[in-house]
Chains A and B, each alone.
Chain A
Amino acid sequence: MFGLPIAFSAPWLLTALIALPVLWLILRAIPPAPVRRRFPGVALLLGLQDEDTVTDRTPWWLLLLRMMTVAAVIVGLAGPILNPDPAGDGDGPLLIVFDGGWASADQWDAHVSAAEAELAKAARQGREAAVINLADPVEVQFLTADIWRTRLAGLQPLPWLPRAERLAEVADALGDGAVETFWLSSGLEFAGRSDILGDLRSRGVVRVFQPGTGAIALLPPKFEDGHIRLAAVRAMAVGGRDVGLNAIGRDPGGNETVLATSRFVFDDGAAEAGVDLVLPSELRARITRFELAGIRSAGTVVLADDALQRREIALVAGRQDREGLQLLSPLHYLRQALVPTADVIEGPLEDVLLANPQVIVLADVAVLSDAESAALLDWAEAGGLLLRFAGPKLAASGVSRKEEDPLMPVRLRAGGRSVGGAMSWGEPKALAPFDDNGPFAGLSVPDEVRVTAQVMAQPDPTLADRVIAALSDGTPLVTRKPLGDGQVVLFHVTANAEWSGLPLSGLFVQMLDRLAALGIADRTSAANMEGTTWQPQKVLDGFGALQDGQSLAGVSGESILAGQIGPQLRPGLYISDAQRLAVNANGPDAELRPFAWPADVPVEGSAAPPARELGGLILGLALALLLADIAASLLVSGRLWGSRVVAVLALALALPPYPADAQEDTAVEIAAEVVFGHVLTGDGQVDQAAFRGLQGLSRVLTFRTSIEPATPRGVDLERDELALYPLLYWPISPDQPIPSDEAYARLNTYLRSGGMILFDTRDADVAGFGAASPNGRKLQRLALPLDIPALEPVPQDHVLTRTFYLLQDFPGRYAGRDLWVEAAPPDAEQIEGMPFRNLNDGVSPVVIGGNDWAAAWAIDDNGRFVYPVGHGRGGERQRELAYRFGVNLVMHVLTGNYKSDQVHVPALLERLGQ
């Protein structure tokens, strides 16, 4: 309408706009009501005529405002809709078809909103509709479109793709009625898709909505020579694409985190991309799943199972004839290398075999009993990795000398050889670079690794195949032989540093790592899976999120092998006999094929801008205009600027949000200088006295010492930052409020981090210090939650008596006796020849007294004393002493135990004298 994408749901209501000119006339005729005012001066007004008679009509702009209000109400009620959908394509029932598999999950929101728009349109046209999810087809129900709109939110993608046999049911359920179809497609080919498309096309128009760039899937990881090889496939091999890969697992704290990241880079035209992850086995063992970054779908998550978990490695050493030589133990370096990454078992061979480890290490074990050999052979042929190290015993024994021992990869020459020793020729041998095809491919050989002794392999026809590492002169260092499903590997040197530097180098760990990764048996072989039942533990939903699967029925091993993912076999983690197996949405060889829609089926790429109902917006505008009209009416009748309106406006303007910046600025100001704080008690007189007292003390400090404090500040314990104040003065008044728990927490932090509070009960004239006075009792209540150490009256040799002035009394306005500070440690003893004991190492966190110091210190703005102290000259002296106490206290706070350390001065002087 009017060239704008606007339509009305009740256009006949717009005829009411005709009435607007009538309204114009009516409104013009009615003047605004006058204000009645009582005013005695009216006697002087009598007979005065208004000069201007036009204003009794409503001003034109006010009229316009009101007309617009009414027009907005009318237009708003007429139900305008922005971007209305084009007029209905048909009038029969509408069938909305979701692909609904994991391939749709990434674009699920787009699918649902497109379906929503389609249903909304159908609802406006009064058509019936049905929604069906091909991945989980249930009975087709044709209902009012509005009902389906409410049910859309419950529709979820499923972690499998639609399957042919269920699709046939859909076609049956539809009967023979003609329907218009709106198909929300993932673009992925699956069996039976063409059939159902043909069926639907025979019933009516089929439109397809297919957003996004096509499905992408992550294939299960493969482990090859210590690498994790991951592959991703995509349906539409068009254009380059770059997808992140996250390996997710638990950090040492047990929290899920991203352990490693990589990227799949699809070249233009390539449907597959691969990534090799090389991870420390410690990290690898903690990986629980891989997923493609930013793509939510069951197809982009693969779960890791036992294959990635920590391996069990058994260490078996030959008989120990010595003890206590840890670094010479044949197993020491192995243990160091393996413990961080694997579960290590040690013990006699017959014991560790029962644990069925993946790897058994025999360090310099030459002779095995027949029973042991047989058991070991069985174990190795079932997929175990037997890792052997040579050593003096093996070299001295006759094992695998004449005949190749089944548990040795090669035959050995007698005695071995040693090179580069005192009694031999030649240099110690270095390692040759590793073969590119061997398990150690890519590892760099450090120069410092030298081999001084080794056992030598007999040259055999098979030897060349079995060598996987050699020395620079070509003699084998590591040999390997397959043994059934497993293998046996021999290091021709010792596992300790006697024969070579290999165990000392990082290469040793890397080699072990590569070898141990080879020890994972292929448990998913058909023979192993037969007859097993696997219980789902965690299953994936369509979005790739893990859900609890404990309540689902168990699955037989055969069906897992068949790999038919569906409602019976959900992707997830399955458990059987403490073994865990991951079933993923895609098999290792899966590929994604795009579905080619027939040319005459319209395929939309992205949703049209959704229709928006503007009614509410325009009615809101009418409301705003109405409010403007109120203000305007007040303006016209001269009441807008009445005192109350002004007051309300002024209040609204004068209440900006709490100036956080100002507080920050204040904090900067306080932190820049020495500022004393006094705790605000809520009693104006006490606070005033405290402020003036600190002001007076600050002035005295400025005159007499190098401390030049800024103006003191009142501290609100609930709000202000305490750490900025070196000293808090806390006058006690009986009716001050108890601070909140948070305030106490902050006060305790303040005390622990070196702050000091001077408590002043201000009642030394009438009460001794203690609970006898109301202020004393209040102090006890206030200080109860505080973290205050044991206290004692100031001892004669406390550092407070000599930080600046030498003092023995601490009078304030009153000359009470007691001043309490943190007690000296019980072991403080006076050292011979020292004038003072070495008391507290730190600053007393609290000083408690009742002499009303602030009153003695207080000066007014003109520098005159505010409160009288004592009488005559004695009083002046007392005030002076009060100031001296203040100076000493501040010095104590700011210099800590500096003066206390001066007990060492005589010793230092004596030393200087020498």
Chain B
Amino acid sequence: MTLPTQLRTRSETEAARLPPLLARAEHLAGTVLLGDHGRRRSGLGDDFWQYRPVRPGDSMRMVDWRRSAKSDGQFVREREWQVAQSVMLWVDQSASMGFGSVKGADTKCDRARVIALAVSILLIRGGERVGLTGISLPPRRGEGQILRLTDRLLQPEDEDYGSPEARAMLPHARAVFLSDFLGKTDAVEAALTKAADRGVRGVLMQVLDPAEESFPFRGRALFESMGATLRHETKKADDLKARYLDRLAERKARLTQLARATGWQFTSHRTDAPAQVALQWLYRALERRG
């Protein structure tokens, strides 16, 4: 049971974390120059896009007479297509994401949250609707959504390894999955298949700690997962390094292959690399025509 005072304390603690995350995300988002956010093609919208010669099938009402009067041909005035996309985020909040080998540096979870929030800010400023997968926070637009996202992103989960949430996906929306993908790949496969069925495309970003990519352990060791549900004991950790790295490469290859099959894109990000690189890549990947 939570006493009101405890709730107050906890909420203040949480609230204290919120602005830094938001600030970092804003800061990160500020590194991407948005410029013009139109869809770069003609469609429904308010802004002028281009004049094009009249083609068969265009009704006379569509002819822009003012433009046509300046020359012999007839032109149609096209407007830029301005339709809002829905982007759904899934950020793995499980215990394994709380790992950080370098004290004081970002954990995987921190990095994933910042990237997710930064990309949300960019998308919302670009007029898109952003939300979380599942039913907890459906995509919406507006600055208020950023605050709501921040709030949701700060709620960790108890599971040892996260599995993607693929319920209630809007058809033809975009999705971003941020996780270390160290858990079972079956869940990922299932989620991607389900998303592909609904025409949802998106991006898989694997966030890994440097230690997970280099395996700098030696000697006798007992490895435990963050939730202590899995454990493995070894007499000589250095012997395992090569085989561990093989398995990691195998896991990445599997995810890449899975993404290609479903029309998604996959990348891997290390927490010791700048978050900006990941954000740039993510933003470009989302901008690409799906």
Chain A contacts to B: CB under 8 angstroms: 31-46, 48, 50-53, 55-56, 636-639, 641
Contacts and interface: CB of A to CB of B under 8 A. Distances in A.
Contacts of B233: 34
Interface string B133-157: 0000000000000000000000000
What 7 A-B pairs have minimum CB-CB distances, sorted nearest first? A638-B219, A638-B218, A40-B96, A42-B223, A34-B220, A44-B247, A45-B232
Nearest to A42: B223
Nearest to A43: B182
B interface, size bucket: 35 or more
Nearest to A41: B212
B242 to A, nearest CB: 10
B54 interface: no
B39 interface: no
Contact of B244 (A38, A41, A50, A638): A41
Given A39-B99, A41-B244, A48 B232 contact: yes
Contact of B222 (A34, A51, A636, A639): A34
A261 B211 CA distance: 80
Contacts of B248: 41, 44
Question: In terms of DSSP, what is the predominant structure of the interface of chain B?
Answer: mixed
A31 B234 CA distance: 12
Given A41-B212, A41-B248, A44-B247, 20 more contacts: A31-B220, A34-B222, A35-B221, A37-B221, A37-B223, A39-B99, A40-B99, A40-B180, A40-B182, A41-B215, A42-B223, A42-B232, A43-B182, A44-B244, A48-B234, A48-B240, A50-B236, A638-B217, A638-B219, A638-B220
B232 to A, nearest CB: 4
Contacts of B247: 44-45
Contacts of A32: 220
Nearest to B246: A44
A34 B221 contact: yes
A51 B218 contact: no
A32 B233 CA distance: 13
Nearest to B233: A34
Given A40-B212, A41-B215, A46 B220 contact: no
B185 to A, nearest CB: 10
Contacts of B219: 35, 636-639
Contact of A638 (B209, B223, B231, B237): B237
Given A35-B222, A40-B226, A45-B240, A50 B234 contact: yes
A32 B231 CA distance: 19
Contacts of A40: 96-97, 99, 161, 180, 182, 209, 212, 225-226
Residue among B99, B219, B233 with the highest chain A CB neighbour number at 10 A: B219
A235 to B, nearest CB: 74
Contacts of B232: 42, 45-46, 48
Contact of A55 (B212, B217, B220, B240): B220
Contact of A46 (B161, B211, B230): B230
B66 interface: no
Given A40-B212, A44-B251, A35 B99 contact: no
B224 A42 contact: yes
A46 B236 CA distance: 15
A56 B220 contact: yes
Contacts of A35: 219-222
B183 interface: yes
A53 B212 CA distance: 25
A898 B221 CA distance: 80
Contacts of A55: 220, 235-236
Given A39-B211, A40-B182, A50 B222 contact: no
B276 to A, nearest CB: 25
A785 B239 CA distance: 70
Contacts of A51: 236, 239
A51 B242 CA distance: 12
A724 B182 CA distance: 66
A50 B244 CA distance: 12
B222 A53 contact: no
A38 B99 contact: yes
B61 interface: no
A44 B240 CA distance: 11
Contacts of B183: 43
A559 B182 CA distance: 110
B284 interface: no
B243 interface: yes
Contacts of A39: 99, 211-212, 217, 223-225
B226 A50 contact: no
Contacts of A53: 235
A45 B244 contact: yes
Contacts of B230: 42-43, 46
A43 B97 CA distance: 13
Contacts of A637: 219-220
A35 B236 CA distance: 11
Contacts of B243: 48
Contacts of A42: 223-225, 230-232
Contacts of A33: 220
Nearest to B182: A43
A716 to B, nearest CB: 33
A36 B224 contact: yes
A46 to B, nearest CB: 6
Interface string B157-200: 00001000000000000000000101100000000000000000
Nearest to B240: A48
Nearest to A52: B236
